C-alpha cells in the first residue's frame, strides 16, 4: 500500500513532562528542539486514535502547561484537528483507526462485529476538553460530550458497560466487560473528567459512581486466601483472571474515595488498598519480583500466571501507579517499600545497555529480554516512581489530574478567567 508509516517521536513526546518534572533541563531543551524541527503530522499513516491521543496529544498538552512553551500548544491543537475525521460516523462514536492523510477511518478487524472499543473512544475526554480550552474551538469538547450522550441513551446489562460498541448502529457488540484491557481508562476518565472540571461535571460523577457500584456487585470477588480481585465478565459468566492493566483501579478507587456517595469514602480507600495488596502479591509471587501480564484465581492458584503467554512484563506502570495514589492518599509507608522493591527489580532484570527492556517470563530465573522499551516506561512508570518518592506538593491532586498515560493536566477551576498561571 502507499501508507508510509507512523507519526515518529512517541518516546520523545511521551517523555517531555517527565524530563521537565525531574528538572532534566538540558534533555528537555533537546527534546523541545526535536519537536520544533521534526514532529510532523503530515504523514500518510494509519494511526490508533486512542494511542495518538493519550501519548502525543496528552504529552504535548502537559509539556505546554508545565513549560508555557507555545510550540507545544500549537502542535497539540494541530494534531487534535487531524483526529477530528475519526468522528465522522453515523453516531459520532469515533473509529479506532484513522488515516491522518486521507481522513478515512475504520475499526480493528478483530473487534466484535465492527465495533469501536470502550477504552479507546472513552479515553479522549480529558484531552479534548483541554483542546477546546486552549484553541477556543468548541468542536473538540462537543465530540466527546456526544460520546457520553450516546452511552447514556443505551441500556446497560446489569449496569455494566460492554467493551464493544458499534459506531454505525449505536448498539453494543459482545457483552464482555473489563476493568482491564478494552475497558480500563473509560472508567478512569469519568472520574477524572469530574475532578478536572473542579467537580462541576455532575454527569461524569454520576456515571463513575454508578459504574463502580455495578463493578463491585458483579466483578469484584475475594479469593479463599483473602485477596480481593476484579474478574472479567463475559455475558454474565466470570473469568477469574486479572490483568496487570486492571491494577490501575486500586489508585482510581482511592482517588475517587473522597466523592463517594452514601458514606462510602472509607470503603473506596479500603478497596484501593486491597487491590494494591493483590497486585503486590502478583509481583511477590514471581522469581523476578515483577508482575505478569495477567494472573488468575482458579484451579488452586491465586495471583499467579498460569499460561505461558501471560507471563511477560513489558515495563507497565499500573501497579506502581496504584502505589503512588495509595501513598499520597494514606501515607502508609508500605507503598514506598513496595515501590522500592519494584525499582530494585527493574534495575536487576530490565536494565540493559540502551535503556530498559521488557521480560518474557517473570517466573524464570534468568531473563529473556524482549528488547523493547515502551514509551510509557518514561511517561508513566518512571514518573509515578518519582512522584512516589517526592513530596505531595509536586503536582498536587487539587490542581492536576493525570491522563491515562500519566500526563498531568490542570484542573479547570471555576473562577479561572485566565487559567494557566503556575500551579506547579
Ligand atoms: C498505557 O499506554 C496507558 O496507561 C493505557 O491506559 C494502558 N496501557 C499502557 C500502559 O500499560
Asked whether 228 lines ligand 1 (CB < 6 A), one says no
User: CATH number, domain at 309?
Assistant: 1.50.10.10
In a domain, 191, yes or no: no
245 CA distance to ligand 1 centroid (A)? Answer: 7
Asked whether 316 lines ligand 1 (CB < 6 A), one says yes
Same domain, 201 and 147: no
Asked whether 192 lines ligand 1 (CB < 6 A), one says no
In a domain, 99, yes or no: yes
Query: What average pLDDT score do residues 214-234 get?
Result: 98
Query: What average pLDDT score do residues 313-320 get?
Result: 99
Same domain, 331 and 208: yes
Same domain, 138 and 27: yes
> What is the spatial distance between Cα 308 and Cα 188, in angstroms, rounded to a whole number?
30
316 CA distance to ligand 1 centroid (A)? Answer: 7
- Write down the pTM of the prediction: 0.97
Query: What average pLDDT score do residues 208-237 get?
Result: 98
Give the nearest ligand 1 atom to 245 CA.
Answer: 11
Number of domains in the chain: 2
- For the cut 80, the answer to whether the pLDDT of residue 3 exceeds it is no
- For the cut 50, the answer to whether the pLDDT of residue 75 exceeds it is yes
Is 293 part of the annotated catalytic residue set? yes
Placement of cell 518519582 in the chain: 386
Same domain, 358 and 211: yes
Residue 299 gets the label, from left (phi > 0), alpha (psi -120 to 50) or beta, of left
Same domain, 259 and 172: no
45 CA distance to ligand 1 centroid (A)? Answer: 22
pLDDT digits (tens, 9 = 90+) for 382-410: 999 999 999 999 999 999 999 999 999 99
Which one of 51, 216, 270, 341 is the catalytic residue? 51
Which one of 184, 188, 201, 232 is the catalytic residue? 184
Residues in the chain: 424
Is 391 part of the annotated catalytic residue set? no
Which structural domain, as residue segments, surrounds residue 236? Answer: 197-403
DSSP 222: E
Query: What average pLDDT score do residues 299-322 get?
Result: 98
For residues 163 and 169, is the Cβ–Cβ distance under 8 A? Answer: no
Query: What average pLDDT score do residues 300-321 get?
Result: 98
> Which amino acid residue places its CA nearest to atom 10 of ligand 1?
316
Question: Which among 177, 212, 234 is the end of a domain?
Answer: 177
pLDDT digits (tens, 9 = 90+) for 96-132: 999 999 999 999 999 999 999 999 999 999 999 999 9
- For the cut 90, the answer to whether the pLDDT of residue 207 exceeds it is yes
224 CA distance to ligand 1 centroid (A)? Answer: 30
How much is the pLDDT for 2? 55
> Which amino acid residue places its CA nearest to atom 1 of ligand 1?
405
Query: What average pLDDT score do residues 226-243 get?
Result: 98
In a domain, 410, yes or no: no
In a domain, 324, yes or no: yes
> What is the spatial distance between Cα 377 and Cα 387, in angstroms, rounded to a whole number?
14
> In sequence order, which residues have a C-beta less than 8 Å from that of residue 123 and are 6 or more positions away?
50, 53, 54, 185, 186, 188, 189, 404
418 CA distance to ligand 1 centroid (A)? Answer: 32
How much is the pLDDT for 423? 45
254 CA distance to ligand 1 centroid (A)? Answer: 19
Query: What average pLDDT score do residues 260-273 get?
Result: 98
Give the nearest ligand 1 atom to 406 CA.
Answer: 4
How much is the pLDDT for 403? 99
Give the nearest ligand 1 atom to 51 CA.
Answer: 2
In a domain, 8, yes or no: yes
Asked whether 377 lines ligand 1 (CB < 6 A), one says no
Which one of 120, 274, 293, 302 is the catalytic residue? 293
What are residue 195's phi and psi, to 5 degrees? -65, -40
How much is the pLDDT for 414? 85
Same domain, 21 and 170: yes
Same domain, 145 and 47: yes
Is 14 part of the annotated catalytic residue set? no
Query: What average pLDDT score do residues 327-331 get?
Result: 98
Query: What average pLDDT score do residues 10-19 get?
Result: 98
Is 318 part of the annotated catalytic residue set? yes
Q: What is the mean pLDDT of the chain?
A: 97
Query: What are 48's strand-pairing partners?
Result: 97
Same domain, 110 and 210: no
How much is the pLDDT for 5? 84
Residue 276 pLDDT class (50, 70, 90 cuts): very high
Same domain, 290 and 173: no
CA distances from residue 288 to 223, 238, 340, 342 in whole angstroms, order as listed: 24, 29, 14, 10
CA 258 to chain centre: 21
Give the nearest ligand 1 atom to 181 CA.
Answer: 7
C-alpha cell at 383: 514518573
Amino acid at each position: 500500500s502507499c501508507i508510509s508509516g507512523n507519526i515518529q517521536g512517541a518516546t520523545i513526546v511521551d517523555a517531555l513532562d517527565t524530563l521537565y518534572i525531574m528538572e532534566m533541563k538540558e534533555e528537555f531543551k533537546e527534546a523541545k528542539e526535536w519537536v520544533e524541527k521534526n514532529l510532523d503530522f503530515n504523514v500518510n499513516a494509519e494511526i490508533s486514535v486512542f494511542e495518538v491521543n493519550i501519548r502525543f496529544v496528552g504529552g504535548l498538552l502537559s509539556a505546554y502547561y508545565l513549560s508555557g512553551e507555545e510550540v507545544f500548544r500549537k502542535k497539540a491543537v494541530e494534531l487534535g484537528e487531524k483526529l477530528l475525521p475519526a468522528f465522522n460516523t453515523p453516531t459520532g462514536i469515533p473509529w479506532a483507526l484513522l488515516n491522518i492523510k486521507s481522513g478515512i477511518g475504520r475499526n480493528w478487524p478483530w473487534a466484535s462485529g465492527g465495533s469501536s472499543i470502550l477504552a479507546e473512544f472513552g479515553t479522549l475526554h480529558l484531552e479534548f476538553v483541554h483542546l477546546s480550552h486552549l484553541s477556543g474551538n468548541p468542536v473538540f469538547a462537543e465530540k466527546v460530550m456526544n460520546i457520553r450522550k450516546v452511552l447514556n441513551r443505551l441500556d446497560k446489562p446489569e449496569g455494566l458497560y460492554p467493551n464493544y460498541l458499534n459506531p454505525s448502529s449505536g448498539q453494543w457488540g459482545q457483552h464482555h466487560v473489563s476493568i482491564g484491557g478494552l475497558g480500563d481508562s473509560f472508567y478512569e476518565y469519568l472520574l477524572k473528567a469530574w475532578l478536572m472540571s473542579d467537580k462541576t461535571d455532575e454527569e461524569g460523577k454520576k456515571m463513575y459512581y454508578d459504574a463502580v457500584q455495578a463493578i463491585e456487585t458483579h466483578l469484584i470477588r475475594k479469593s479463599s486466601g483473602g485477596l480481593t480481585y476484579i474478574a472479567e465478565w463475559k455475558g454474565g459468566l466470570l473469568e477469574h483472571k486479572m490483568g496487570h492493566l486492571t491494577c490501575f483501579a486500586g489508585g482510581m478507587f482511592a482517588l475517587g474515595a473522597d466523592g463517594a456517595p452514601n458514606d462510602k469514602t472509607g470503603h473506596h480507600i479500603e478497596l484501593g488498598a486491597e487491590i494494591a495488596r493483590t497486585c503486590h502479591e502478583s509481583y511477590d509471587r514471581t522469581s523476578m519480583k515483577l508482575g505478569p501480564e495477567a494472573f488468575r484465581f482458579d484451579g488452586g492458584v491465586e495471583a499467579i500466571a498460569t499460561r505461558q503467554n501471560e507471563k511477560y512484563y513489558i515495563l507497565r506502570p499500573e501497579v506502581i501507579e496504584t502505589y503512588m495514589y495509595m501513598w499520597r492518599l494514606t501515607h502508609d509507608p508500605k507503598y514506598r517499600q513496595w515501590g522500592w522493591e519494584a525499582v530494585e527489580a527493574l534495575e536487576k532484570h530490565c536494565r540493559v545497555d540502551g535503556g530498559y527492556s521488557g521480560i518474557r517470563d517473570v517466573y524464570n530465573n534468568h531473563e529473556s529480554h524482549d528488547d523493547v522499551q515502551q514509551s510509557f516506561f518514561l511517561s508513566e512508570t518512571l514518573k509515578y516512581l518519582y512522584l512516589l518518592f517526592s513530596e505531595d506538593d509536586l503536582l498536587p491532586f487539587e490542581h492536576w489530574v493525570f491522563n491515562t498515560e500519566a500526563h498531568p493536566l490542570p484542573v479547570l477551576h471555576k473562577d479561572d478567567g485566565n487559567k494557566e498561571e503556575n500551579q506547579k
